[in-house]
Amino acid sequence: MDVIDLFSGCGGLSLGFLKEGFTVKKAVEFDEKIANTYMMNHPEVDMIVDDIRNIDQSGVFEIGDADVIIGGPPCQGFSMAGARIREGFIDDPRNYLFKHYFNVVKTVKPKVFIMENVKGIMTMQNGKIFEEIQRIFQDADMLDGKPYHLYYRVVKAVEFGIPQKRERMIIIGTTIDNVDVEKLWDLTIENMTKEYPTFFNKVTVEDAIGNMPSPTIDGKIANPEAMTDYQRYLASSNDILSNHTKTNHSKLAVDRMSRVDNGQNFTALKEEINSVHSGSYGRLCWDEQAPTITTRFDTPAGGRFIHPCENRTLTPREAARIQSFPDDFIFYGNKTTICKTIGNAVPPKISFFLAKLVRKIMEMEDK
């Protein structure tokens, strides 16, 4: 079954579908540096590096190109057209990211689409944006007579055996009639538990990164022995792992970090910290989950990202572990690009579950 990945980033969503045996035919990513990481890890996929505005109706996509479309249009584009929402939402230029996701779905007419977004999309503009998104995908006139049945759910990463407290909205649309997605969701959990008995088990920071040695200047380390089920799930057969890069913190930052205990943050320093983040200078605890990995996980002032026992922030490889990326997935680019790539990604363990779920949805077509 063929997949198109829109707003693909480095391919967190693609990874799960590839693992489940789907074929990702095309991916679209605007940021060429992040797209490079996708291409280096998935050279078999046709990566289109462009603004989706330029390609959604340019002939790049045709009806039947894919059975499944996946992707998360960044919510920064969502706005309202005032009282004229019904006429104006899809045409408001500030909503172009969503509009062009919709246009690709309308053109290709996949049997299933998955849209991933921030949990807060439900409450933006008092819920009216979310209502409008639902309305548009169920409007037969706007979709050439082929509307979608919709299902949505807020998913918590911790419930998928991922050691971070990330929450995301998943919207699933299908043209297949009489699909009980709630029932298939539970069945997917049941079946995956049989196949991977520890998949949904609670995972801590220590379970994820406890076997990692000290970071190196070039980020290359000997592949450490996997000590937990989670580490074994992500383990690579390679002799060397990459991206375990040491961050050069200032003396002031190191001094501050040395004065913060597990579970504490900047308030323990009793000094003025120039940060808007409430978790600034926060130190992780081995026996808990991390907060959401963001694009600033390498910065002490960026949130609660200080290593549980070393006076440094997480390395890209550690952050990737907490995001559930396999150890053989390599991130390319400078420090800023790599942090952005990892922080914005969909955790691959969630996408693997979604791929299993989509397979079950597709099987309902023949019943």
Active-site residue (options: 10, 75, 285, 309): 75
Q: Is 285 a catalytic residue?
A: no
To 5 degrees, how large is the angle CA 164–CA 97–CA 116?
Answer: 30
Chain Cα centroid distance, residue 182: 22
How far is Cα 51 from Cα 7, in angstroms, rounded to an integer?
Answer: 9
In whole angstroms, how large is the CA radius of gyration of the chain? 21
Nearest of 100, 27, 71, 79 to residue 172 by alpha carbon? 71
Q: Which residues pair with 112 in a beta bridge?
A: 68, 174
Reading the block at residue 131, the tokens are: 């209502």
Whether the Cβ atoms of residue 304 and residue 298 lie closer than 8 Å to each other: no
Q: How many CB atoms lie within 10 A of CB 190?
A: 9
Reading the block at residue 273, the tokens are: 């910290």
Q: What spatial distance separates the first Cα and last Cα of the chain, rounded to whole Å?
A: 18
If phi > 0 it is left, if psi is from -120 to 50 it is alpha, else beta; for residue 265 that is beta
What's the Cα-to-Cα distance from 340 to each of 67, 156, 204, rounded to whole Å?
30, 21, 23
Task: State which H helix or E strand residue 52 sits in.
Answer: helix 52-55
Q: What are the residue numbers of the active site?
A: 75
